[in-house]
Amino acid sequence: MTTTVANPGLPDGTAPLNRAWPSEGLTRVPYWVFEAADVHAAEQQRVFEGPSWSYLCLEAELPNAGDYRTTFVGKLPVIVVRDRAGEINAFENRCAHRGALIALDNSGSAKSFSCVYHAWSYDLKGNLTGVAFKNGVRGEGGMPASFCMADHGPRKLRVETVGGLVFATLAPEAPPLREYLGEEIVACIERVLAGRTPVVLGRFTQSLPNNWKLYVENVKDSYHASILHTFFTTFGLNRLGMRGGLIIDKSGGHHVSFSAIDRSVENTAEYKSEKLRSEKESYRLADPTLLQGFEEFPDGVTLQILSVFPGFVLQQIQNVIAVRQILPREVDRTDLNWTYLGFAEDTPEQRAIRHKQSNLVGPAGYVSMEDGCVGGFVQRGIAGAADERAVLEMGGASTESQESRTTEASVRGFWKAYRTAMGL
């Protein structure tokens, strides 16, 4: 059942994808969405260059004028740089002349940028400021008199920040960043990052053998956590008396999953006796200092996974703070860029705790290594099954915020935002 779908939300002239979403709606996900080249190509234009905001870097990574990093919006190479006025600018890492990369390093400091191919040069705002041999050599050659540098340049992105996170968009029609995120998501970002100075503790790239959306689904899937990740259960580390919930914004695209110590339960006699028993009977780590954290947040939240559509994650797992940038590489290859964070205000003891607890996360993380391979299990499992579909009925069909995390509501939320962006 393939029909041509009109794309009412897309700009005029956008070619329709010759594909139809299953009639059941958000409770079904067709597997072609993870496999098809036409879908993959359309995502760059409609999702990443559409009216969404993509994470680029941290403000703290650009402390001084001229500091830059190179990164991506989807597959689009981007330079993000602080200029002499202190503003952060972002523009395509693509020379306006013949398309070569302008900057070749992951990061650095520059007064200006110059393309290695023909030395076309750019200021820190991405304006073309020089063309080698523009007036020719000894009066011969050179650009025509009609050539105007102001008419040429890499595309510039709009940049806004929240909580020290730098986001950018290519779409003039995208709402302001805070409006895009909504108040609840902004508050959850700021509770982790605001009022202190982030420090990068390390950067790692995990190369995932699957479509980028399979990783996004995994991040948003609060149903799988206690089933796939057995580290806490196996070692008897689950805390009793936790409360939790899911926040899903109205677009569906952003979410927060959290759990917190329930103080009202923790003070009861039943809890105290249970807690003692569970610790004695099953606490089996040879070095229990792994989980001896410090109280960083007065709200008792010990886990907060926050995602921003399309490909950003901010995580607080106990005292491990990290951002993850999800970048598509090919239909079935994804780069997951981890940046582990501490804060300038950390004591040496707190910093040591962050390093130890970082064993929980990342490519070798006790509670995250499975997320690196499970997307590949799906990618391989669905080979040859493009017209079959996944079932997302846990917790019904809604995409609402709720206290239960035994639900796929936030996964459905992602598909809601994705279908809007893609016109599917």
Partner 1 sequence: MNDAFAQIAALNARYARCIDDGALADWPSFFAEDCLYKVTTAENYKDSLEAGIIYADSRAMLVDRVSALAEANIYERHAYRHILGSPFIVEDGDGVARAETSFLVVRIMRDGTTDLFASGRYVDVVRFGADGPVLAERVVVCDSSRIDTLLALPL
Residues in the site for partner 1, rule: CB under 8 A? 106, 200-209, 228, 230-231, 233-235, 284-287, 289-290, 335, 340, 351-352, 354-356, 358-359, 362-364, 366, 369-370, 372-373, 376
Q: What is the smallest separation between the CB atom of 372 and partner 1, expressed in angstroms?
A: 4
Contacts (Cβ under 8 Å, ≥6 apart) of 380:
none
Q: What is the smallest separation between the CB atom of 235 and partner 1, expressed in angstroms?
A: 7
Q: What is the smallest separation between the CB atom of 143 and partner 1, expressed in angstroms?
A: 40
Residue closer to partner 1 by CB (options 114, 334) is 334
Q: Taking Cα atoms as reference points, which of 158, 182, 198 lies closest to residue 51?
A: 158
Q: Is the peptide bond before 310 cis (omega within 30 degrees of 0)?
A: yes
Q: Is 179 exposed, middle or buried (0-12, 13-18, 19+ CB in 10 A)?
A: exposed
Residue 209 DSSP label: S
Residue closer to partner 1 by CB (options 89, 334) is 334
Indicate the residue type of 41.
Answer: A
Residue closer to partner 1 by CB (options 128, 322) is 322
Print burial letters for 75-98: b (CB count within 10 Å at least 16), e (below 16): ebebbbbbbeeeebbbbbbbbbbe
| Distance of alpha carbon 81 from alpha carbon 88, whole angstroms | 6
Count of CB atoms situated within 10 Å of the CB of 342: 22
Q: What is the smallest separation between the CB atom of 338 and partner 1, expressed in angstroms?
A: 9
Residue closer to partner 1 by CB (options 205, 404) is 205
Distance spanning both ends of the chain, measured CA to CA:
14
Q: What is the smallest separation between the CB atom of 359 and partner 1, expressed in angstroms?
A: 6
Q: What is the smallest separation between the CB atom of 99 and partner 1, expressed in angstroms?
A: 25
Residue closer to partner 1 by CB (options 296, 335) is 335
Q: What is the smallest separation between the CB atom of 61 and partner 1, expressed in angstroms?
A: 11
Q: Is 231 exposed, middle or buried (0-12, 13-18, 19+ CB in 10 A)?
A: middle
Count of CB atoms situated within 10 Å of the CB of 258: 22
| Distance of alpha carbon 293 from alpha carbon 356, whole angstroms | 9
Residue 294 contacts residue 319 (beta carbons within 8 Å) = yes
Q: What is the smallest separation between the CB atom of 111 and partner 1, expressed in angstroms?
A: 22
Residue closer to partner 1 by CB (options 150, 286) is 286
| Distance of alpha carbon 304 from alpha carbon 37, whole angstroms | 34
Print burial letters for 358-380: b (CB count within 10 Å at least 16), e (below 16): bebbbeebbbbbbbbebbeebbe
Residue closer to partner 1 by CB (options 116, 285) is 285
Residue closer to partner 1 by CB (options 234, 273) is 234
Residue closer to partner 1 by CB (options 370, 400) is 370
Element (H, E) at 212: helix 212-220
Q: What is the smallest separation between the CB atom of 28 and partner 1, expressed in angstroms?
A: 27
Element (H, E) at 159: strand 156-162
Residue closer to partner 1 by CB (options 9, 236) is 236
**Strand order across the beta sheet in which 76-82 lies:** 54-58, 165-169, 156-162, 88-92, 76-82, 67-73, 107-109
Considering only the C-alpha atoms of the chain, give the largest distance between any 2 of them, rounded to a whole number of Å. Answer: 92
| Distance of alpha carbon 415 from alpha carbon 409, whole angstroms | 10
Q: What is the smallest separation between the CB atom of 342 and partner 1, expressed in angstroms?
A: 8
Residue closer to partner 1 by CB (options 96, 341) is 341
Q: What is the smallest separation between the CB atom of 164 and partner 1, expressed in angstroms?
A: 18
